[in-house]
């Protein structure tokens, strides 16, 4: 049970002529060119982009009514941005974002790369901007380098970005094979999130209690940082 506001519906879902949709997105991209960065995703949003996205949403809402562009029983891929509380349904969006260790990938938002506004060091920002540009993010996708990526190397950021691209590909394939309604992807569980967000290469190791959690942490590390997988140990008590 959820609520999808009109401005949270991506133009890709609008049942309007393709030429109209392309014209809208072209206008939005022209707006983007006036800004350095683009963004979304809580604390790691970057300048410019949220404003660009909001401008596009307002323009769409002025131009269309929801009943003109969306039909009953239409199937959409939505992301839950807030769980349901009491009688209030979950808040949903079709503007997707996938958080990795150092990056946030927005597979259907904007273009190019941005840097978290929490990274204030000028040389870090310059270096990360160059690292983001080198990734050649596909047209129609956005990428933000998170605060945790501030001191990371190009190779580390690239690996995280490639992991998110693979994740998005898996989500797309699963979506196409599924019958709605269906859960397509869930945020990483606690074990994976802890490894993703807290692990540092300077750690001597990670002790995980329980065989199941140990295997999950080790397998996840093999994907995230293969060279570090040997540092995951089963806690023996």
pTM: 0.74
pLDDT at 3: 94
How confident is the model over 168-186, as pLDDT tens digits? 999 999 999 999 999 999 8
Residue 30, token pair as written in the block: 């022209």
Non-local (6+) Cβ contacts of 160 within 8 A are 100, 101, 102, 103, 149, 224
Q: Phi and psi dihedrals of 206, rounded to 5?
A: -125, 130
Work out the angle at residue 195's Cα, subtended by the Cα atoms of residues 108 and 199, and round it to the nearest 5 degrees. 110
Length of the chain: 237
123-127: list long-range contacts, CB under 8 Å, 24+ apart: 124/150, 124/151
User: Which tens digit of pLDDT belongs to each residue from 91-127?
Assistant: 999 999 999 889 999 998 866 568 888 889 998 898 9
Q: How do residues 40-64 score in pLDDT, each as one tens digit?
A: 445 555 555 556 677 777 877 888 8
Query: Helix (H, G, I), strand (E, B), or coil: what is residue 91?
Result: strand
Burial class (CB in 10 A: 0-12, 13-18, 19+), 171: middle
The CA distance from 124 to 108, in Å, is 27
Residue 140 backbone class (left: φ over 0; alpha: ψ -120 to 50; beta: rest): left
Residue of 26 and 51 predicted with greater confidence: 26
Coil, helix or strand for 237? coil
* Nearest alpha carbon to residue 167 among 181, 188, 189, 198: 188
Residue with tokens 């001191």: 151
Tokens of 210: 């329980």
């Amino acid at each position: 049970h959820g609520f999808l506001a009109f401005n949270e519906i991506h133009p890709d879902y609008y049942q309007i002529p393709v030429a109209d949709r392309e014209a809208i997105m072209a206008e939005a991209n022209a707006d983007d060119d006036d800004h350095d960065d683009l963004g979304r995703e809580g604390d790691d949003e970057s300048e410019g982009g949220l404003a660009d996205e909001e401008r596009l949403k307002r323009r769409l809402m002025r131009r269309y009514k929801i009943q003109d562009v969306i039909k009953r029983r239409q199937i959409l891929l939505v992301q839950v941005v807030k769980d349901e509380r009491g009688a209030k349904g979950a808040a949903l969006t079709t503007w997707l974002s996938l958080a990795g260790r150092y990056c946030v990938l927005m597979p259907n938002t904007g273009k190019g790369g941005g840097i978290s506004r929490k990274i204030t060091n000028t040389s870090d920002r310059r270096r990360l901007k160059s690292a983001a540009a080198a990734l050649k993010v596909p047209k129609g996708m956005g990428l933000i380098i998170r605060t945790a990526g501030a001191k990371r190397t190009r190779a580390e950021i690239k690996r995280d970005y490639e992991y998110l691209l693979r994740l998005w590909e898996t989500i797309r394939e699963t979506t196409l094979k599924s019958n709605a309604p269906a859960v397509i992807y869930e945020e990483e569980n606690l074990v994976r999130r802890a490894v993703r967000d807290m692990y540092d290469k300077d750690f001597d190791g990670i002790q995980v209690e329980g065989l199941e959690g140990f295997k999950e942490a080790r397998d996840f590390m093999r994907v995230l940082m293969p060279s570090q997988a040997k540092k995951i140990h089963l806690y023996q008590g």
